[in-house]
Structure 1
Amino acid sequence: MRGSEFYPLPLRNIHRLLTNLGRDADPEGVRSLLKLRDRRRVDQYVKTLRWVASRVEDAGSLDAFMESMVRALMREFWLEEAFKELMERAIPLSPSSLSALLRARGLSLTESEARAIISWMREAGALRERKVPVLTLSLEERVLEDVRNRGTVTYASLRRSYGDNAKLAVFSLWRRGLISVPSLERYRDLLEGVEDPDRIPGKVEGRIFSTWQDRTSGEMYSELVIPQRERISARWRLDA
């Protein structure tokens, strides 16, 4: 996937850069004006500034700038139709759901760019959200709704919320194609046929497996060990 062309940075700062330095601001100017130390953040501001400047010709006042940005975003990313579809299908608005929907409609968009769009629309006062009631009667449903609402979560955060049972829920949701767990993909052929991820027959090689022996039978088994830092994302079935 291509890299992001713009990032979720405050519109107020982008407007400040445009009015003080212009669209071709150099990294040193950005660093000095915003008093930044992180080189990566400076580079993100430079890229975002150029992307925004190519769509908003006259920065004007902050309010006028934000209105121009909203119009540009609405036009380029079909946001009226996108938000309407998410609402009608009761899909929570998140970077993962918005980027998945727009990609299904032929627009190339990273999750970071989707996060920027949502952040900018909120900052401009053009986006407000209503909570939709969702029944979560099982642990799997609660885990899935948690992931969907947050877009991307770490496995460690799910463990803190749901304890040891989080692993079985994550494993089941992954097999059903409802969430993405990158470290498991390499072993999909093996794991598709596994019912109990804590008791996989034999010794399985790989960094996400540990081996143990049944003291009664002497049989060797492997246990799935999902990394604590694993980033788990929602998967959306959003066909065009």
Structure 2
Amino acid sequence: MIACLISWVPVTEHVKLDLVDGKVRAALVTDLHSCYYGPNQRWLTDRIDKEAPDVIFLGGDIFDDDLSDDNARKAIEYLVAKYPCFYVTGNHEFWSGRVDEMKAFMKSVGVTVLEGDCENITINGVVVDVCGVDDPTYMSDDQWLEQLGAAYAKTDSTHFRVLLTHRPEKVDIYSRYDYDLILAGHAHAGQMMIPFLNLGLFAPDQGFLAKYVNGLYTLDNGSVMEVSRGLSRESTRLPRFFNHPELVIIDLY
């Protein structure tokens, strides 16, 4: 029974990046899809508490378009009471037809919802510009680029600049901006990871042998992008192979 319970706790990836003068620990939570992580979501929230992050980035698809919002709400209500939380939408929130309701809930409990905006936070003496954009599911390219441009225009080159986005595949666009760190999800690591190659069998908006699915990538302009495998479980139509759900912890030094 103990082994069974442990198997349900998300694997934690620790990433250490020598990018700032100071120390910031961030948790990247993506693609929860309102999945179940124990009574009151404690398997997930206890794991996050154990890692003691300074800030939590919620990278979209925290809610689902089929499953009830209850599990997502329980996790968010607990986390926002303890940590600064920043959120961007994913495609499933738009597919639900209730994205405005979901954003309203996030705002009502104290989560910062980023929709083409940038907020400033100081953590252990490190000044961080946190930018975020909506998922472009129902946007034109021009509308989405307008959000990206508006958010970036509010950054300061002397600050550590983070872009929170759901989509990892738009690297050609992200490379136009001088972000230090880009955080994404969406790909579910290709659902079936190909061992030793860090490629996904198939990822949305990337197709077969998807490249941007898991871990760290350095873009052409030098920006670092971290892509989480996400936390989806019972919401997926296909089982995950070589691809455990994941909570990412990022240490910036």
TM-score (norm 1): 0.25
Task: Please say which structure displays the higher CA radius of gyration.
Answer: 1
User: Which has the larger helix fraction?
Assistant: 1
Q: Return the structure number with greater relative CO, CA threshold 8 A, min gap 6.
A: 2
Identify, as 1 or 2, the structure richer in strand: 2
